[in-house]
Amino acid sequence: MNIRNTKPSPRNNPGYELSRKVKEYAALHHLWEKGQRIMVAVSGGADSVALLHLLHGLAPILELELTVVHLDHGLRGQSSMDDACWVEALSGRLNIPCLTGSRDLAAEMKAGGRSPEEAARLARYAFFSEVSGRTGFNTIALGHHADDQAETVLMKLLRGCSPSGLGGMRASRMEGNLRIVRPLLAVRRWELREFLDSIGESFREDLSNQDHRFLRNRIRHELIPLLEKEYNPKLKEGLVHL
Protein backbone atom coordinates (compact mmCIF):
# COMPACT_ATOMS: atom_id res chain seq x y z
CA MET A 1 0.00 0.00 0.00
CA ASN A 2 1.32 3.45 -0.92
CA ILE A 3 0.76 6.15 1.68
CA ARG A 4 0.81 9.74 0.52
CA ASN A 5 2.10 12.24 3.05
CA THR A 6 0.97 15.33 1.17
CA LYS A 7 -1.75 17.24 2.95
CA PRO A 8 -4.82 17.73 0.73
CA SER A 9 -6.04 21.22 -0.05
CA PRO A 10 -9.13 22.20 1.95
CA ARG A 11 -10.88 22.71 -1.38
CA ASN A 12 -10.51 19.00 -2.07
CA ASN A 13 -12.03 17.97 1.25
CA PRO A 14 -15.57 16.55 1.19
CA GLY A 15 -18.13 19.27 1.76
CA TYR A 16 -15.75 22.23 1.44
CA GLU A 17 -17.87 24.12 -1.09
CA LEU A 18 -21.12 23.23 0.65
CA SER A 19 -19.73 24.33 4.01
CA ARG A 20 -18.58 27.60 2.47
CA LYS A 21 -22.04 28.17 0.98
CA VAL A 22 -23.72 27.59 4.35
CA LYS A 23 -21.23 29.82 6.15
CA GLU A 24 -21.77 32.67 3.67
CA TYR A 25 -25.57 32.30 3.79
CA ALA A 26 -25.52 32.39 7.58
CA ALA A 27 -23.34 35.51 7.57
CA LEU A 28 -25.59 37.22 5.00
CA HIS A 29 -28.69 36.61 7.12
CA HIS A 30 -26.98 37.06 10.51
CA LEU A 31 -28.05 33.60 11.68
CA TRP A 32 -25.49 33.41 14.48
CA GLU A 33 -22.54 35.12 16.08
CA LYS A 34 -19.18 33.76 17.10
CA GLY A 35 -19.58 31.72 20.26
CA GLN A 36 -23.32 31.12 19.70
CA ARG A 37 -24.99 28.25 21.54
CA ILE A 38 -27.18 26.40 19.04
CA MET A 39 -29.58 23.49 19.29
CA VAL A 40 -29.65 21.36 16.13
CA ALA A 41 -32.93 19.57 15.40
CA VAL A 42 -32.01 16.11 14.10
CA SER A 43 -34.72 13.65 13.05
CA GLY A 44 -32.23 11.18 11.63
CA GLY A 45 -33.26 11.96 8.05
CA ALA A 46 -30.72 12.98 5.42
CA ASP A 47 -31.34 16.72 5.63
CA SER A 48 -30.93 17.10 9.38
CA VAL A 49 -27.98 14.68 9.47
CA ALA A 50 -26.22 16.74 6.79
CA LEU A 51 -27.01 19.92 8.74
CA LEU A 52 -25.46 18.45 11.88
CA HIS A 53 -22.27 17.43 10.07
CA LEU A 54 -21.97 20.85 8.43
CA LEU A 55 -22.41 22.72 11.71
CA HIS A 56 -20.05 20.30 13.43
CA GLY A 57 -17.43 21.21 10.83
CA LEU A 58 -18.04 24.95 11.25
CA ALA A 59 -18.19 24.85 15.06
CA PRO A 60 -14.41 25.10 15.70
CA ILE A 61 -14.09 27.98 13.22
CA LEU A 62 -17.04 29.96 14.57
CA GLU A 63 -16.69 28.74 18.17
CA LEU A 64 -20.25 27.39 18.09
CA GLU A 65 -21.52 25.28 20.99
CA LEU A 66 -23.91 22.63 19.68
CA THR A 67 -26.53 20.42 21.28
CA VAL A 68 -28.63 17.92 19.33
CA VAL A 69 -32.36 17.73 20.05
CA HIS A 70 -34.65 14.93 18.85
CA LEU A 71 -38.36 14.37 19.47
CA ASP A 72 -40.02 10.96 19.14
CA HIS A 73 -43.60 11.64 18.01
CA GLY A 74 -44.66 8.12 18.96
CA LEU A 75 -46.47 7.52 15.67
CA ARG A 76 -44.28 4.80 14.17
CA GLY A 77 -43.74 2.46 17.10
CA GLN A 78 -40.38 0.70 17.17
CA SER A 79 -39.18 2.63 14.12
CA SER A 80 -39.53 5.92 16.04
CA MET A 81 -37.58 4.52 18.98
CA ASP A 82 -34.91 3.24 16.60
CA ASP A 83 -34.61 6.73 15.12
CA ALA A 84 -33.99 8.20 18.58
CA CYS A 85 -31.30 5.60 19.34
CA TRP A 86 -29.66 6.23 15.99
CA VAL A 87 -29.55 10.00 16.56
CA GLU A 88 -28.07 9.49 20.03
CA ALA A 89 -25.37 7.23 18.55
CA LEU A 90 -24.56 9.76 15.82
CA SER A 91 -24.30 12.55 18.39
CA GLY A 92 -21.99 10.38 20.48
CA ARG A 93 -19.72 9.76 17.49
CA LEU A 94 -19.46 13.51 16.95
CA ASN A 95 -19.04 14.17 20.68
CA ILE A 96 -22.09 16.45 20.76
CA PRO A 97 -24.60 16.38 23.65
CA CYS A 98 -28.00 14.98 22.68
CA LEU A 99 -31.35 15.62 24.35
CA THR A 100 -34.33 13.51 23.35
CA GLY A 101 -38.00 13.66 24.23
CA SER A 102 -41.24 11.89 23.34
CA ARG A 103 -44.86 12.87 22.81
CA ASP A 104 -48.06 10.87 22.36
CA LEU A 105 -48.95 12.67 19.17
CA ALA A 106 -51.93 10.44 18.38
CA ALA A 107 -53.60 11.49 21.63
CA GLU A 108 -52.77 15.15 21.01
CA MET A 109 -54.25 15.00 17.50
CA LYS A 110 -57.44 13.43 18.83
CA ALA A 111 -57.78 15.97 21.62
CA GLY A 112 -56.96 19.01 19.50
CA GLY A 113 -58.55 18.01 16.21
CA ARG A 114 -55.37 18.89 14.32
CA SER A 115 -53.80 17.36 11.23
CA PRO A 116 -50.74 15.14 11.77
CA GLU A 117 -48.47 17.79 10.22
CA GLU A 118 -49.78 20.60 12.42
CA ALA A 119 -49.78 18.50 15.58
CA ALA A 120 -46.21 17.37 14.90
CA ARG A 121 -45.04 20.93 14.26
CA LEU A 122 -46.60 22.23 17.47
CA ALA A 123 -45.18 19.32 19.46
CA ARG A 124 -41.68 19.95 18.09
CA TYR A 125 -41.72 23.64 18.90
CA ALA A 126 -43.08 22.97 22.38
CA PHE A 127 -40.22 20.51 22.93
CA PHE A 128 -37.62 22.93 21.55
CA SER A 129 -38.91 25.68 23.85
CA GLU A 130 -38.83 23.31 26.81
CA VAL A 131 -35.21 22.35 26.10
CA SER A 132 -34.31 26.00 25.58
CA GLY A 133 -35.72 26.85 29.00
CA ARG A 134 -33.71 24.06 30.64
CA THR A 135 -30.41 24.67 28.88
CA GLY A 136 -30.29 28.35 28.03
CA PHE A 137 -29.82 27.57 24.33
CA ASN A 138 -32.23 30.01 22.65
CA THR A 139 -31.41 29.33 18.98
CA ILE A 140 -32.40 26.23 17.06
CA ALA A 141 -31.18 25.27 13.58
CA LEU A 142 -33.57 23.40 11.29
CA GLY A 143 -32.69 21.43 8.15
CA HIS A 144 -35.15 22.96 5.66
CA HIS A 145 -33.51 23.43 2.27
CA ALA A 146 -34.27 25.04 -1.10
CA ASP A 147 -36.46 22.16 -2.32
CA ASP A 148 -38.56 22.42 0.86
CA GLN A 149 -38.85 26.14 0.21
CA ALA A 150 -40.14 25.56 -3.33
CA GLU A 151 -42.70 23.05 -2.04
CA THR A 152 -43.86 25.50 0.64
CA VAL A 153 -44.42 28.30 -1.86
CA LEU A 154 -46.34 25.99 -4.21
CA MET A 155 -48.49 24.73 -1.33
CA LYS A 156 -49.41 28.32 -0.45
CA LEU A 157 -50.24 29.04 -4.08
CA LEU A 158 -52.53 26.00 -4.29
CA ARG A 159 -54.27 27.05 -1.09
CA GLY A 160 -55.07 30.45 -2.58
CA CYS A 161 -52.76 32.68 -0.57
CA SER A 162 -52.65 36.33 -1.61
CA PRO A 163 -49.50 37.58 -3.37
CA SER A 164 -48.28 39.09 -0.10
CA GLY A 165 -48.61 35.71 1.61
CA LEU A 166 -46.77 33.66 -1.01
CA GLY A 167 -43.34 34.10 0.52
CA GLY A 168 -41.51 31.02 1.73
CA MET A 169 -39.85 30.20 5.02
CA ARG A 170 -37.61 32.90 6.45
CA ALA A 171 -33.95 32.31 7.19
CA SER A 172 -34.58 33.47 10.74
CA ARG A 173 -37.65 34.17 12.86
CA MET A 174 -38.76 34.22 16.47
CA GLU A 175 -41.18 31.72 18.01
CA GLY A 176 -41.80 33.12 21.48
CA ASN A 177 -38.38 33.36 23.09
CA LEU A 178 -36.89 30.84 20.68
CA ARG A 179 -34.96 31.93 17.60
CA ILE A 180 -35.39 29.60 14.63
CA VAL A 181 -32.69 29.61 11.95
CA ARG A 182 -32.57 27.74 8.65
CA PRO A 183 -28.99 27.68 7.34
CA LEU A 184 -29.73 25.39 4.36
CA LEU A 185 -32.33 27.42 2.45
CA ALA A 186 -29.83 28.12 -0.36
CA VAL A 187 -28.88 24.43 -0.64
CA ARG A 188 -30.58 21.85 -2.85
CA ARG A 189 -31.66 18.42 -1.62
CA TRP A 190 -29.30 16.65 -4.03
CA GLU A 191 -26.34 18.62 -2.64
CA LEU A 192 -27.05 17.32 0.86
CA ARG A 193 -27.33 13.71 -0.36
CA GLU A 194 -24.11 14.11 -2.33
CA PHE A 195 -22.37 15.51 0.75
CA LEU A 196 -23.46 12.58 2.91
CA ASP A 197 -22.25 10.16 0.25
CA SER A 198 -18.88 11.92 0.13
CA ILE A 199 -18.31 11.49 3.87
CA GLY A 200 -19.75 7.98 4.01
CA GLU A 201 -22.59 8.90 6.37
CA SER A 202 -25.90 7.05 6.47
CA PHE A 203 -29.31 8.33 7.54
CA ARG A 204 -32.74 7.08 8.53
CA GLU A 205 -35.63 6.78 6.08
CA ASP A 206 -39.05 7.97 7.28
CA LEU A 207 -41.61 6.05 5.23
CA SER A 208 -44.27 8.65 6.03
CA ASN A 209 -42.45 10.92 3.55
CA GLN A 210 -43.78 8.60 0.84
CA ASP A 211 -47.38 8.74 2.12
CA HIS A 212 -49.41 10.50 -0.56
CA ARG A 213 -52.21 11.30 1.85
CA PHE A 214 -50.12 14.32 2.84
CA LEU A 215 -50.30 17.32 0.50
CA ARG A 216 -46.58 18.10 0.69
CA ASN A 217 -45.72 14.56 -0.38
CA ARG A 218 -48.08 14.73 -3.36
CA ILE A 219 -46.53 18.05 -4.38
CA ARG A 220 -43.00 16.65 -3.98
CA HIS A 221 -43.49 13.32 -5.72
CA GLU A 222 -46.24 14.07 -8.26
CA LEU A 223 -46.94 17.73 -9.01
CA ILE A 224 -43.44 19.22 -9.11
CA PRO A 225 -41.97 16.42 -11.29
CA LEU A 226 -44.91 16.84 -13.70
CA LEU A 227 -44.52 20.63 -13.89
CA GLU A 228 -40.75 20.35 -14.34
CA LYS A 229 -41.14 17.79 -17.12
CA GLU A 230 -43.97 19.43 -19.03
CA TYR A 231 -43.52 23.16 -18.40
CA ASN A 232 -40.38 24.40 -16.65
CA PRO A 233 -37.32 22.32 -15.70
CA LYS A 234 -36.17 25.20 -13.49
CA LEU A 235 -39.48 25.48 -11.63
CA LYS A 236 -37.94 25.15 -8.15
CA GLU A 237 -35.45 27.94 -8.77
CA GLY A 238 -38.31 30.23 -9.75
CA LEU A 239 -40.48 29.31 -6.76
CA VAL A 240 -37.64 29.85 -4.29
CA HIS A 241 -37.25 33.45 -5.45
CA LEU A 242 -40.92 34.41 -5.15
CA distances from 9 to 16, 70, 195 (A): 10, 35, 17
Amino acid occupying residue 95: N
Q: For the chain of 242 residues, list the mean pLDDT of each consecutive stretch of 10.
A: 40 80 97 96 96 97 96 76 94 97 74 72 90 95 96 88 80 94 97 95 82 81 90 88 76
Look up the domain containing 52 and give its range: 15-207
- 175 assigned to some structural domain: yes
H or E stretch covering 140: strand 139-141
pTM of the model: 0.89
Supply φ then ψ for residue 41, to 5 degrees. -75, 120
CA distances from 165 to 89, 154, 155 (A): 40, 12, 11
CA distance 113 to 107: 10
CB atoms within 10 A of CB 140: 23
CA distance 237 to 212: 24
**Looking at residue 167, what is its pLDDT?**
79
- 29 assigned to some structural domain: yes
| CATH number, position 203 | 3.40.50.620
- 118 assigned to some structural domain: yes
- 237 assigned to some structural domain: no
> Three-state SS string across 56-69, please?
HHHHHHHCCEEEEE
CA distance 44 to 202: 9
Number of domains into which the chain is organized: 1
- 79 assigned to some structural domain: yes
CA distance 24 to 16: 12
**Looking at residue 95, what is its pLDDT?**
98
- Strand 172-175 relative to strand 178-181, pairing: antiparallel
- 240 assigned to some structural domain: no
**Looking at residue 110, what is its pLDDT?**
67
CA distances from 231 to 98, 138, 215, 221, 228 (A): 45, 43, 21, 16, 6
- 228 assigned to some structural domain: no
**Looking at residue 165, what is its pLDDT?**
74
- 131 assigned to some structural domain: yes
